[in-house]
Amino acid sequence: MAGPWTISRGQRNRVGADLRAALGQVGSWSRRALFTRPTWPTHAVRRGARLSAGLARRLGTAGVRTVTMPSRRGPSTPPNRVVRGSVGTIRTGRAVFILAVMTMVAVLLAWATISIANRGIARSQAAVSISAGPLVIPPPRVAGGLPLRFGPISAAGARPIVAELRHHFGAVAAALIANARRAAAAAAAQGSRAAGTSQAGAAAAPNGRAHPVRASWASGLYGQPGHIDPVTGRLAWVMYLGLDANAKLGIPSHVVARLMLGILGADAKVVRWRVAAGQRGGRASCTVAWLAHIRVSVCGWASDHTIGALASPTRDTSVAELATLMIKMRLDLQSQ
């Protein structure tokens, strides 16, 4: 029964041979593609397209009908083209750019850190180098909001503590004045040798004249309104002692350390710590001392020409509170 859809044996053999030949070409290409890296990605796509077209033509000549499936991309959408070497080049360029930016940022951060540190050091040195004015003598009636107490100091309250504090403070102040006078005498001796005159025990003034080293003392007992001593039942207090000289007493940090050590005693094991000196400049420290067998908070400061100390029992005023009071009270106790 031969008809239009009947395929003879010869035709079948020819179609099978053509189909095997086409599939053999596709298989050889696929094997080469597995072990061979294409130098240009579009070549493999074009070559596959040519092989598919050739296979379709052979199947068409053999009488086999082929169906072309539509592409998912659509007829107007071109395939993605991959530029050879573009990925590696972009990544390398980005890495170099990011590295350069990070280097610049690191340099800027280092510069900013150094600048901030230098400014802080400069401000600290400027605060230390501030030459505060002389002490207010006699002491003001109000210092840091605390009123000055008048009259004798009671024996049951502050008298034993104040007496021992005055003893230690006076010893340190006398030693500082003696050192200042010796330094003034040495400076005057050098000046006299240079000028042909001798004025021992005098300090040379900036205008060329000489004047002796003098010192003034200040003291006052200030009450703390609203604070009652739990032991005596009386108003809490803060004792103030100060020394003002017309010559430089020494380096402020060394002077305040000497003052704290003199109040504590040479054998004391209690440490002292540095605190803010406030707007009047200089250096300041605080500690805890035993005065008249009572635990007392003590804070002191030193500038070029002055020293001062504040003391109050720890049961009334902590060291932190006294350090804050010192900054406020110095604004009234010492002129700018």
- In the chain, domain spans: 9-61, 93-129, 133-333
Single-letter amino acid, residue 9:
R
pLDDT at 82: 44
Three-class SS state of 215: strand
pTM of the model: 0.59
CB 205 within 8 A of CB 184: no
Q: How much is the CA Rg of the chain, to the nearest whole Å?
A: 48
What region, left, alpha or beta, does residue 234 occupy, with left being phi > 0 and alpha being psi -120 to 50 degrees? beta
The DSSP annotation for 150-182 comes to -SPPPTTTTHHHHHHHHHHHHHHHHHHHHHHHH
CB 177 within 8 A of CB 215: yes
pLDDT of the chain, 336 residues: tens digit per residue: 444 444 454 555 555 566 566 556 655 555 555 445 455 455 554 555 565 566 556 555 555 454 555 555 444 445 444 444 444 455 787 888 888 889 989 998 988 888 887 776 666 555 544 557 899 999 999 999 999 987 777 656 688 999 999 999 999 999 999 999 998 888 888 876 666 554 444 444 444 445 688 999 999 999 999 888 888 888 899 999 999 999 999 999 999 999 999 998 865 667 778 999 999 999 999 999 999 999 999 999 999 999 999 999 999 999 999 999 999 999 999 987
pLDDT at 199: 46
d(CA 302, CA 261): 13
Single-letter amino acid, residue 4:
P
pLDDT at 83: 45
pLDDT at 156: 64
